[in-house]
Amino acid sequence: MLRLIQAIMNSTPKRVPIPKNGVDYRGKVALAPMVRSGELPSRLLALKYGADLVWGPETIDKSMIGTQKRVDPISSTIDYTRTPSNAPKNPAVALKESKIYRLHPAREHGRLIFQIGTSSPSTAVEAAKLVAPHVAGIDVNAGCPKPFSTLGGMGAALLQTPDHLASILAALVTEVGNVYEIGISVKIRLLETAEKTETLVRKLCCTGITGLTVHCRTTPMRPRERAIRDQLRMIADICRGEGVACIMNGDVKSRDEALQLMQEYGVDGAMIATAAEANPSSFRTKEEGGLLPWRNVVEEYMRIALDMDNKWGNTKFTLSQLMPGKLEVYKKVAASKAYTEACRALDFEALSDQASEVDERLGLSRNLDVAAVKNAKEKNKSAQAAGGRTEVERSLSSEIRLPLSARGIGISTAMTV
């Protein structure tokens, strides 16, 4: 009997327990963390189209520390804001708060993973505690190859200091994961050799993390270079042996492909990045209709962005990713100064009233006024260049044709007598 029990125990896969407020990454297809393309409206749209989980954009720990947490009464979001430390050139101008991170506690509940950029266990813990009550997990970015991250010892730089990276993860597990009952995970890249990758993964899996994502590229590789998957099964086997969920990332183009690759390489989950950036309906299966036309996606995105009072600069960038660049309407949206102009260019008449309200709240209405004045000046210049007359000249010409009394000349003469 004892041998039977031992045999059963040995055949049962080991699993790191999933905390009460956390989420199991197994069987999930998620939105990958992306700067600008991972802001709140993009995450909500991905969830609408079928993403199981969404990663927010990498947020540096030091930028979160010292923020104020506010609940937006209009969008019901939780906003982490801070006032710029630099004094304005004009003392009469009030400092405008910057929104460092936004989340929707109801619509993202149980499905949002906060990705943190860090190089220190203490600051990682301090920043993570701020958002821990509102997210399903904290993920450490150990894969970003960009200088702004690596020069500070963050991102892919952590791959070169595995003991230090392990200490960050262990601190987060002990002081955040166990306290707030959420999962801690890490996202890495491949190292120079399979042997180095194996050593790294084994070390990280012993820290108490619940998940490990591998971006199937080395640090020097760019997104246009094809993902390398020959180490993926080895990584998945190590994670499985330690009870840690393994998620793959790199060149996954749709939910259907994600599910197929998960089965082929034995990984537990997958992330979609650039394909979702271009069309988040990539989370829909073929049975659900697959990819939607860009116009349907853009209209739904615009609706969500307006509901969230999303920063216009981010909305404009996202629209540029969702729309075909060769269309004339793309150029009109790219030239837009506010939501009102963009909705007009896209013929989203049903959203025009809401767009005007949001423009007013975000202070974008003045952009439209400035643009109107500039356009008027350009028209006058064009008219002069073509030998025509400006609006002022036409006004003076009309006045000259009026009777003397209508122009006030008779009245003026009578007063001087």
Catalytic residues: 144
Which of 271, 311, 286, 316 minimizes the C-alpha distance to 298? 316
10 Å CB burial of residue 344 (0-12, 13-18, 19+) is middle
Burial of 93 (0-12, 13-18, 19+ CB in 10 A): exposed
| 252 token code pair | 């996954």
Residue-wise over 29-61: b if at least 16 C-beta within 10 A, else e?
bbbbbbeebbbbbbbbbbbbbebbbbbbbbbbb
Q: Identify the bridge partners of residue 110 per DSSP, sorted by sequence position.
A: none
Compute the distance between CA of residue 128 and CA of residue 158 in angstroms, rounded to an integer. Answer: 18
Residue 269, SS3 per DSSP: strand
Phi, psi values for residue 224, rounded to 5°: -70, -20
Q: How many CB atoms lie within 10 A of CB 95?
A: 11
**Which candidate, 277, 273, 252, places its Cα nearest to that of 262?**
252
| Cα Rg of the chain, angstroms | 28
Distance (Å, whole) CA 410 – CA 301: 63
How many CA atoms within 13 Å lie on the side-chain side of 322?
30
Looking only at the bridges linking them, the beta strands covering 59-60 and 245-249 are unpaired
Q: Are 189 and 145 in contact (CB under 8 A)?
A: yes
Beta bridge partners of 271: 30, 249
